[in-house]
Chain A
Amino acid sequence: MGFQDHLSLLIVILSSFINFFITVLVYLRNPRSATHKIFSLLGLSILFWLVLTYLSYRPWDTPTTLFLIRLSTFFAPLICLFFFLLAHTFPSAKLKLTRKRFTLLAIITSVVMILLISPFAFTELAYVNNFPSPTPGFGIIPFVLYVILTISAAIFILFKRLRHSIGVEKQQIKIVLLGILLMPGLIILTNVIPVTLFNNNTLVPLTPLYPLVFQLLTAYAIVKHRLMDIRFIIVRSIAYILLLLFIALGYIAILFDIAYFVNRGRPSIEALQDLVVPTLLALFFAISFQQLRRVFEKITDRIFYRDRYDSNELLWSLSRIMASTLYLTDLSNQILEKLLSEMRINYGSIVLVRDKSIFWVGSSGEVSKHPFNNADMYSLVYDSYHTTKHNEHIFIFEELPEGKIKRLMRKQDLTIVIPLTVRHELIGGLVLGQKASGEIYSSEDIDLLKIVAPEIAVAVRNALSYEEIKKFNITLENEVDRATHRLRKANKRLKELDHLKDEFVSIASHELRTPMTAIKSYLWMAINQPNQEIKEPLKRYLNISYNSTERLIRLVNDMLTVSRIERNKIELKLAPLNINEVVQLVFDELKITAQEKHIAFKFEHPKKKISVMGDKEKLREVVQNLVGNALKFTPENGKIIIETSEKGDTSQISVTDTASGIPKESLPDLFKKFSKIEYSYSKHSSQPGTGLGLYISKQIVSLHNGDIKVQSEVGVGSTFTVSLPLYKRKGGGKE
């Protein structure tokens, strides 16, 4: 076998394998679909025809060769039949041909086939230039007609469909037609041109590969659910065909010269020289393959694909935009502008949803030409998230069946709707209009959008959170400012009020005490005037008036004290003091009163000093109050004992009387302001109190970190005990 034989065998084996592979693959993809079935049958017909044709060119005896030729042509009508059916059906899953027509077609095909295998088609085999050439008979005529009719019908149907179809189907048909048109194109390039112009048939064995081009493209159109941009395929195909042509021509030159060199066997300097240049050329082409490919890609791109973008570069710049800003408006504008300009889209929006409506829209491109209906837009975005197709959340206009969604998208003039979700929560959508070129979105575009959508969602959510935080901060700041302002105002007002109250208390007591001083003083003058004796009952009246004035003055004084205590305005002049001395002062002062009432009045104290840190005057007031009360309530011939002692860390002053005692239920109220018990006792006393004495005493003792307690038994008497912390100094020295 010569070189060409080997090449033929190799190509036949190769194309058979690929053919078989595609056939099986497409069939397995969807065994129920008519399109897939027809495609597989077409593939098998081609396979048989291919193999038989190859075999028929092998050197057999004449009858065998003739039989093989007949047999190979026998399969040709089948190819035509399936091709026609495919064009008619594609890309539907159901056969569109009626049963009647199908039967008719099947009968015609069978007749043609039977004629082909019979001696009427190829009557005999002759050899022209040692090449087997069958002599055609009349039986070949129906075959030729059949081929012409079916093929042209198929192509006619496809073109017609191309005109009427839209979107994906249009793309699919385009690709199939491309495959069909490429076959004669390639035959012209490899067979016609080399053979007629260069008298070279080296590339003829490549012919079996050409149906593969058609098969591959059709398989792609059938199987792939989203198609590459047709221009992309054409561009690449042309680039590779040109490349193949260049390399092929280079090798043709080499083979041609080698054949010349070997067969004619006349090596001469001229021949060798002739060989050098083509070999170098071939080498040059081989080495420069990559560079050439790039150059051709670039040239073809420049012509056909001026607006192609680099996905990686676009993704990178989008990521950079998303990382660069936290402002929602900036973010949305920049993303959309980039997407629209790179992908050549006329319009795009990022919409955000909340509470079943769109609450934010950022648009770019031909905004004015696009209607915007909140409810429709929300419905689209919502549905895009809740409708899943091929495990993807995306609406592409061309791929949608007619229905509500498609209608809405048409109304809004949208081609793409992608939901924006963050952790399974729908936050909005990315909606895009048509491509400026009118082309459909390529799978490359869709893939990129699917990659970039979740990133946009996260970036938008972040921006949204940022704005919310910012807003919240501003609100919070305002709120704090307002609250602070209110507090300041209130504080100022309170200070004013406090000052006014101080002033009021002070002035009121002053204004009350001034006339009372006059009354008291003049009453005293009247009672004590030496000029004439005052007789009863006038003396008694004057005394009552005097005492009442005294009582009123005490009341004012006590109220002044209470007011001071309650406003924390009281200041203790603290100094170490001996409580025995304080009690002694009071004891001495009140001794006379006790004697007058015939009360046994005793003061029992240890010899040593009992030191406390305290305000002497205030503590004297306390003791005076307690002893005064005891004197007030103890009946004549009663007993009052004052005792001082140390008990642990405290000093104690206790005043025990034999008054009527205080009922238990009244004890808790004893030290309250205007305590009922004290008040009622006061009322019945000859020397009424103010109802404030015990309260003031308790407060003063508390200011000294001490306490007053009372034990009482009705009918027996009471004991009031003042406890004050002991004052201890190094060496125990006091005062």
Chain B
Amino acid sequence: MERFSLKQVQQQFLRALSGNVSPIGLFTDSTHFSIYQNSYYFTAQSVLKMDFEKTARVLGANEFSNLVRRYQTHYPSRSWTLGLLGEHFSAFLRIDRIRRRVPFIAALAEWEWAITTASQAATPSPLKVREDVFKKSIRLSPAAHILKLQWNVHRSVAPKRIKTYLAVVRNQVCVETLELQPQEHRLLESIKNPVSTESFLNFVAKQTTATKLKKWITRWSQNNLIQFE
């Protein structure tokens, strides 16, 4: 019998696992290897069904199950945590054939992934605005995601093709979705990475009125969308 290294054995095992083919010469008896193959898909399917509950419901059990198989072939898990399994799901839906039948499916998945990741973020601390805030940086909270979608998927199960700007944010107890003005979305987009608070406020002041600015800053801080650091 040919002697394989551990790496070769494991490479063959993984190929058979993900390719859904029978491994040759690896086992004394491969009758029950399908238990591993089934588990590989079943684990992904149950995790993705939880992370993309609405997407799964729109597609139905069979379609979703087949989609997960295609997704796993394109994007096999590269992390030890199941929490990142859905990280490329909406990107995949943008290129998969399913988009022709359900054109809003990628937008729906993108919104759901924002909700999932916001819920996994650290508990945001309540925002305290002190005098030294102008010496600090302002940034979008790590517990917040801003989205620009082509469909208003957050409104209904039969969404309309409308440009939609959203913020998905985790507060102390739950995850909320807020509708944003396009300009508001643009400003929040500009603080995905920390920027000086003073320069940001100067920049915003040039873009809008003082009343609007006050209204937005109040709304962002009340909803934990921003933080100072």
Do A and B pair up? The answer is: no
Residues of B within 8 A of A (CB): none
